[in-house]
A and B are shown apart, each in its own frame.
Chain A
Amino acid sequence: MIKIVGALLIICGTAAWGMSSVARMKNRVITLRSLITSLDIMRDEICVNLTPLPKVMELTGKAAPKPAGKFFRNVASKTDDIPQQGFFGIWMQALDDGCGMTLEEDERDVLIRLGSGLGKYDCDSQGRVIMTAKKSLERIEERAEKDKNANSKLHAFLGIAAGMMAVVVLI
């Protein structure tokens, strides 16, 4: 009986690992899509309405889908700290907070570059900074989507299979 329970626990554990890997791939795509939508909202506010950044963050936070919306709301909530940390400082802090976003190194780098360019220069340059970030995120999203379609079933299978293999070896 104990062996059966142990075997089930091992299989469940490795299956959960596989499923979390699949969930991570799905969440990454959702995060990337929400960020891409956010950048469109942001660009309109900055380039068309010349809205100051704290307000841009607030409006983007309200209008953008999850989880990017939460990230922008987090940035907006920290804008009182601009005199202490500067905008880039609070942007980085919000990025470190995560805000429910699933980010890999590539998209994190894109967001860091975006944060370092926001608020500076004129509207045209702001538009270019945002568009460059958007294109980079779109490329990453395309790759992430392919990756998800190609590997999600494999990861789920591998999770269960690894558990069964471990059970066979141990028994």
Chain B
Amino acid sequence: MSYGTGNYDLAVKLLPEYLRCEVQLDMRLSAKAEEIRLRAGRKASVLVGESEVVTGSRCIDSADIERVAEIATEASVYSARESMKAGYITAKGGYRIGICGSAVVKNGEIEGFRELSSAAIRIPNEVIGAAGSVMRELTKNGRFESALIVSPPGAGKTTLLRDMVRVLSDGDDKLGLRGMRVALADERGEIACIYNGVPQRDIGARTDVLEGCSKAQAVMMLLRSMNPQLVALDEITAPEDICAIKSCANCGVKILATAHAEDMNDLASRPMYAELLESGFFKNAVFITKRNGRRIYTVEKTGR
């Protein structure tokens, strides 16, 4: 049996043993796999590039998905309760598992899920050097300007963010860039993938990570406690995140963040992001597009 190598292998280990044969892929496909999908009443499938390949031979049931949650939380669902309320679990190694089911609502708030119906295991990619060409464009005279990484979901924002954090933290002699104190607000724990306090991904020598709490809270705490030169955060999605970014800008701290959008027009058409563009906090936007399975990075000035 072959599951390919590296991250896919480890993602498969999040399945109960009897389910592992349901997601068999050859080495070539497993290297490109982005997600393992389990849906109750359907066969298991794997997202490879743009298409979902059905790999299973039998239908998955809710108990199978609950076993995945059990393995991902090390049989400690209570310790992942807060993230489960938000619909995901972060497993050891930074694997994020999106979950769906019947929501249990109490006083208008989601308490958790019962009868789990779907699970999507995202396979993180660490591509050392992914930020090379982008960093050349974003660095002028050895200075880095705040940047917003923009793409639709699944295009590689987090991968690029991680590598940019690494370069900014370590510095780059070729670019004349000195290493900066980077503070990383890693709400879902999928950038640094901390295990036993040690980052499992290379995020640079001068990076301090705060994970497991909301980005807005983390940014404010990092600003107060770690004296950063740059704050990095993934997926700006809420008005509180924008407030936190404003605080960074007001403190003279550079910002590196990601957002969901197709292109500049799409970004500008969303009121929350339009405010960000207007404010001029981000001098540059990096757009990621996928063509023939390859990622293309385009840097654009944000206008101010």
Contacts and interface: CB of A to CB of B under 8 A. Distances in A.
Interface stretch (A24-32, A81-89, A97-105, A146-154): A81-89
Contacts of B17: 83-84
Contacts of A61: none
A50 B79 contact: yes
B74 A82 contact: yes
A46 B111 CA distance: 18
Contacts of A120: 77-78
A131 interface: no
From B70, B73, B78, residue with most partner A Cβ within 10 Å: B78
Given A119-B70, A122-B111, A122-B112, A83 B77 contact: no
Interface residues of B, number: 17
A52 B76 contact: yes
Interface residues of A, number: 21
A119 B16 contact: no
Interface in A48-87: 50-54, 56, 79, 82-84, 86-87
B75 interface: yes
A119 B15 CA distance: 17
Contacts of A122: 78, 81, 111-112
B78 A123 contact: yes
Contacts, number: 57
B16 A50 contact: no
A121 B78 contact: yes
Interface string B66-107: 010011011111110100000000000000000000000000
A126 interface: yes
B136 interface: no
A87 B75 contact: yes
Contact of A53 (B15, B16, B67, B74): B74
B13 interface: yes
Nearest to B16: A83
B131 to A, nearest CB: 33
Interface string B55-75: 000000000000100110111
Given A122-B81, A122-B111, A83 B71 contact: yes
Contacts of B73: 52, 119
A121 B111 CA distance: 10
Contacts of B74: 52-54, 79, 82
A86 B78 contact: no
Nearest to A124: B78
Nearest to B74: A52
Interface of A: 46, 50-54, 56, 79, 82-84, 86-87, 118-123, 125-126
Q: Which 4 A-B pairs have the closest CB atoms?
A: A87-B75, A52-B76, A119-B75, A52-B74
Given A86-B67, A86-B75, A120-B77, 16 more contacts: A52-B73, A53-B76, A54-B74, A79-B74, A82-B70, A82-B74, A83-B13, A83-B15, A83-B16, A83-B17, A84-B16, A118-B75, A119-B73, A119-B78, A122-B111, A126-B78
